[in-house]
Amino acid sequence: MVGAGTQLAKQVYVVRVQGRIRPPGDKSISHRALMVAALTRATIEVKGILTAADAKSAARVLRQLGVDVSPMQRGRSVYVRGRAWRRPVATLDCGNSGTTARLALGALAGHRFETRLSGDASLRRRPMRRVTRPLVDMGAVVTEEAGDCLPLSIRGGNLSSIRYQSPVPSAQVKSAILLAGLAGNVPVTVVEPVRSRDHTERMFQFLGFDVQKDENEVIFRGAGADWPRVDDFVLEIPGDASSAAFLVAAALMATGGELLIEYTGVNPTRTGFLEVLARMGALVTRENERRVCGEPVADLIVRPSNLNATEVGADEIPGLIDEVPVLAVLAARAEGETIFRSVGELRVKESDRLTLIAQNLRAVGASAEVQGEDLVVVGSDRPFCGKVETARDHRLTMAFAVAGFAAARNIELSESNSAAISYPGFFQDLHRIMLRD
């Protein structure tokens, strides 16, 4: 913003930012590391793993299947000792974690026993057929109890190869098929309309599997004759880009200072939000770029910035779907009208995020509305103030918490515990990087 807008913004935002911080381990990579390690006959050390509720759901499910997963404690490695999976004696409890449910379905497709999966009330509202349909085409048997949702049962077995043309870009669908191919040691190909997150195929390549990647196509030719017997190995998990996005947003909305966000994953399929922010005029730079276990990592330096509106195209959404809530908060402070195209997928996340983003922005004094599948946010200098309904959705909670800290805490959240689903210690970290003027 320029002119009078800048002057008013300085009156509204009363927080400076300082110091260095490291985001928690990447949630997507943590899930995949646990699943892949559990399918081996080896002992795998996983460093930097996320110890949030979602990742713990994955560990709990694997323990129910007979896998030895050591306790998950912040700052400590987790050891996974793979062995033959056994039929669980009870329903697999996936908690609130859609990633756990969908990746587990893929891995279970290669096992010759029946397993029932369920989760909490939020997870039981989320669609599952997008994953189960290709698994059924490969030879798994799925029994639904509640239509396109959990609970459901899956019986795996001898799987057939598949070339699956996915109607939507979805890293969870793609990863479920790849894990089914790994568990059953059969070739699979996934073609997407737009490339989604590629953590699974990167992990497969790091482990030496025969994987070929094109722009929108992934071909997995199998794990080899010795699979699942492999040598012990170590996986390192970089900081979660989606969690870092909230720290980036906090620094951008501050009055001054500088924040260093260390050891952050900058996988190109995860940093679409940084490209959008660059168009909006955000001052974010990368330093110390390197690779860790096949994943690109960097340190981010963020400075407070005056932002301009932009249009986020439909082809960009798969690479930043989790960051739309916090980008929408930033758009409410940008100069002009920002449009997020084709974000209907947000309706089937942990909550109806699309509706709640618009409702909550209006509740705190911003201008936002849903137009079909698009989200439109008009920026202004009006101070944020009001009550926010999080619906126990961690990304809504953190996005509006950032808005609240930048508005002298004039935002009241309906709850705050849900942040721990993906970012334990989020509020402590937010306090730590902020200095009141």
Residue 271 parent element (H or E): none
| Cβ(254)–Cβ(266) below 8 Å | no
φ, ψ of residue 303 to 5 degrees: the values are -125, 150
User: What are the structure tokens assigned to 69, written together?
Assistant: 């997963």
Asked if residue 245 lies in contact with residue 12, where contact means CB atoms within 8 angstroms, the answer is no
Distance, in Å, from the CA atom of 36 to the CA atom of 399, rounded to the nearest integer, reads 31
Structure tokens of 38?
């559990």
Measured on CA atoms in the order 15, 16, 19, 22, is the torsion positive or negative?
Answer: positive
Is position 322 annotated as part of the catalytic site?
Answer: yes
Whether residue 220 contacts residue 181, with contact meaning beta carbons closer than 8 Å, is answered with yes
d(CA 15, CA 102): 40
Burial class, 336, CB count within 10 angstroms (exposed 0-12 / middle 13-18 / buried 19+): middle
Catalytic residue among 322, 352, 381, 429: 322
DSSP conformation letters of 7-66: HHHHHH--EEE-SEE-PPBPHHHHHHHHHHHHTSSSEEEEES---SHHHHHHHHHHHHTT
Q: Please report how many Cα atoms fall inside a 13 Å half-sphere around the Cα of residue 413, on the Cβ side.
A: 23
Strand order in the sheet with 374-378: 311-312, 337-340, 374-378, 367-371
* Residues assigned a catalytic role: 322
